[in-house]
Amino acid sequence: MDRAARRVLLQKCELGLLDEDWTPEPATAVELDSTGNRILARRLAGESVVLLDNPDGLLPLAPDTRIAVVGPRAADALAMLGCYSFPSHVLTHHPDMPTGIEIPTVLDALRTELPDAKVTFAQGCDVTDPDTAGFEEAVARTAEADVCVAVLGDRAGLFGRGTSGEGCDATDLRLPGAQGELLDALLATGVPVVLVLLTGRPYALGRWHGRLGAVVQAFFPGEEGGPAVAGVLSGRVNPSGRLPVSVPRLPGGQPWTYLQPPLGLAGEVSNLDPTPLYAFGHGRSYTTFAWEDGTGGAEPAELGTDGTYDVSVTVRNTGDREGAEVVQLYLHDPVASVTRPDMRLIGYQRVAAAPGEAVRVTFRFHADLSSFTDRSGRRTVEPGALELRLGTSSADTHHTARLNLTGPVRELGPDRRLRCETEVRSAD
């Protein structure tokens, strides 16, 4: 505690916060929502949107199509923000106060993005209210359209004032309120439905798997989230986001980490199958990639418990537009002195490539990355067999490199190397 307090106080001294003449008022005005910040916010939001599914190529939407935008999150600016954002955290207690910043909704952004499209809107239902009186209008608007964009999800809040946020828990992973029933009613029209999720947690989507035209997961994308989502729907943005969580198939499925041990996988020890509908690391694109020349031979490579090993793969854009692939490196440790995760992400690299372009990605694996805390409380590297798996998600491995760590058990100190260095170069 003394060390922690000393560090904080020293930093305050260095910043001048304890000087006699210090004042919290800045000498000059601070612009927190500058044009540059908005551009960065839009880029970050665009790169974070995850295209979960697009089985028949419904997306991108045609520029002159008829679109019915439906759902309680479509026309609400706060649908973009999490519970600790100032508008959601504070301004909800002061309804007469303006938000102070511009936050385009998905509805407004889609109308701007596709000016030649005929866009209609119906809310359908509230986020949590079970009332279904609005279903009739939502279904009518959908029946008149070529495609329906259903924008569903959470209302961020704190301590029970929302469906997602601190103190806002869920008994299961069904969509809140009547939103699941609304989605069923929209699908019953026979019009293709694009599901857009603005949520703070993953919801179970197995009930609609194979019935939706496309699924887009945007979480809470921030003040420029509306234009980012609209950009993905129109095709201006080629989605490259990847899931930082798994999306379950059934409502009773836990928001289970992909880091489960082998007994946490589907198998004979349980009658329940916990396999997620969309795995950790999953995400699709409007282009395609081929993975070539991956490291890994028939025999495992020998490596000391303090050694390094380079694992590489060439990724080629085989589609007709520029895009980005996220190359993910996972570690599989089949036998250890304590139970280990079946797979663990230890490195990743986002690589952009033009059509036809090939990029070589190399990860420098250090044995320290296989370390764990043993039964005596020490962080150690153990000799034995390992696998390095290169893939597009925790459930989709493209190349495997087998290693055999040799030598003594090695205890790690403060100089341990737990970051996987990455090199990217052209392969053409």
Question: What pLDDT, on the 0 to 100 scale, is given for residue 42?
Answer: 97
Separation CA 393–CA 326 (nearest Å): 9
Q: Quick check: is 280 in a domain?
A: no
Separation CA 322–CA 198 (nearest Å): 26
- Write out pLDDT tens, residues 71-99: 999 999 999 999 999 999 898 889 899 88
**CA-closest candidate to residue 382, choices 392, 394, 373:** 373
End-of-domain residue from the set 227, 262, 297:
262
User: Is there a single domain that holds both residue 66 and residue 162?
Assistant: yes
Separation CA 232–CA 389 (nearest Å): 30
Domain of 202, CATH number, reads: 3.40.50.1700
Q: Is the peptide bond before 104 cis (omega within 30 degrees of 0)?
A: no
Q: Quick check: is 273 in a domain?
A: no
What mean pLDDT is predicted for residues 406-416? 94
Question: What pLDDT, on the 0 to 100 scale, is given for residue 417?
Answer: 94
Backbone φ/ψ region at 10: left (φ over 0), alpha (ψ -120 to 50), beta: alpha
The pair of structure tokens assigned to 35 is: 């044009």
User: Is there a single domain that holds both residue 243 and residue 310?
Assistant: no
pLDDT at 296 over 80: no
DSSP 63: T
CB 365 within 8 A of CB 311: yes
Q: Quick check: is 58 in a domain?
A: yes
Lowest mean pLDDT among 120-129, 212-221, 264-273, 301-310: 264-273
**CA-closest candidate to residue 195, choices 177, 173, 180, 178:** 180
Distance of CA 23 to the CA centre of its chain: 40
What mean pLDDT is predicted for residues 261-270? 87
User: Is there a single domain that holds both residue 304 and residue 410?
Assistant: yes
pLDDT at 54 over 90: yes
pLDDT band for 24, please (50, 70, 90 cuts): confident
**How many percent of the chain have pLDDT more than 70?**
99
Q: Quick check: is 406 in a domain?
A: yes
Separation CA 338–CA 152 (nearest Å): 42
pLDDT band for 257, please (50, 70, 90 cuts): confident
pLDDT at 27 over 80: no
DSSP 199: -
Q: How many domains are there within the chain?
A: 2
Mean of the per-residue pLDDT values of the chain: 95
Q: Which of 14-23, 26-35, 401-410 has the highest mean pLDDT?
A: 401-410
pTM of the model: 0.92
User: Is there a single domain that holds both residue 300 and residue 160?
Assistant: no
Phi, psi dihedrals of residue 67, rounded to the nearest 5° = -120, 125
Q: Quick check: is 78 in a domain?
A: yes
Question: What pLDDT, on the 0 to 100 scale, is given for residue 299?
Answer: 85
Separation CA 405–CA 413 (nearest Å): 19
Separation CA 152–CA 361 (nearest Å): 37
- Write out pLDDT tens, residues 210-252: 999 999 999 999 999 999 999 999 999 999 999 999 999 999 8
pLDDT at 254 over 70: no
End-of-domain residue from the set 220, 246, 262:
262
User: Is there a single domain that holds both residue 254 and residue 302?
Assistant: no
Domain of 421, CATH number, reads: 2.60.40.10
The per-residue DSSP string of 18-32 comes to TSTT--SS-SS---S
- Write out pLDDT tens, residues 166-186: 999 999 999 999 999 999 999
Q: Quick check: is 224 in a domain?
A: yes
pLDDT at 10 over 80: yes
DSSP 372: E
The pair of structure tokens assigned to 77 is: 């600016």
The residue range of the domain holding 73 is 35-262
- Write out pLDDT tens, residues 334-373: 999 999 999 999 999 999 999 999 999 999 999 999 999 9
User: Is there a single domain that holds both residue 199 and residue 304?
Assistant: no
Question: What pLDDT, on the 0 to 100 scale, is given for residue 272?
Answer: 86
pLDDT band for 134, please (50, 70, 90 cuts): very high
